[in-house]
Amino acid sequence: MMTEDEKAALTRTAPRLLKTWGVGDADAARLLRLPDAEWKAIKSGNDDCQLTDDQLQLVGALVGTHGALKIIFAGEADRVSSWVHAANSGPIMQGRTPIEVLIEGGLPEAMRIRSYLEAEVAG
């Protein structure tokens, strides 16, 4: 179980990470299953808005994915940040972009992608 501090940290991380990946507000809200107004409140740092446990797990999976991408594409920050929008022929994406898969599949797909990339890192 996460502490309130951990929940707050993940909530603050979501907008920064999704901005790094170039995910727009509409897609970010869809990914996190939030109304647009609530996403914008979280993005602006409104402490009254909190993510659910599932949303926090999804953000945690995205953070893990980002970490794996930084290892896979070491020294290529542009590839790390653009990966989410690049069509991918791998077994999970099957020609779609990661953001499409993440929005459609939610937490289960986010966990699957993270596990796959971490396995790639582990070799």
**Mind listing the pLDDT tens digit of every residue in the chain (123 residues)?**
889 999 999 999 999 999 999 999 999 999 999 999 999 999 999 878 889 999 999 999 999 999 999 999 999 999 999 999 999 998 899 999 999 999 999 999 999 999 999 999 998
Q: How far is Cα 67 from Cα 34, in angstroms, rounded to an integer?
A: 24
Q: Can you give the pTM of this predicted structure?
A: 0.94
Query: Structural domain boundaries of the chain?
Result: 4-122
Q: Is residue 33 helix, strand or coil?
A: coil
Q: How far is Cα 70 from Cα 28, in angstroms, rounded to an integer?
A: 21
Give the number of other Cβ atoms within 10 Å of residue 64's Cβ.
Answer: 17
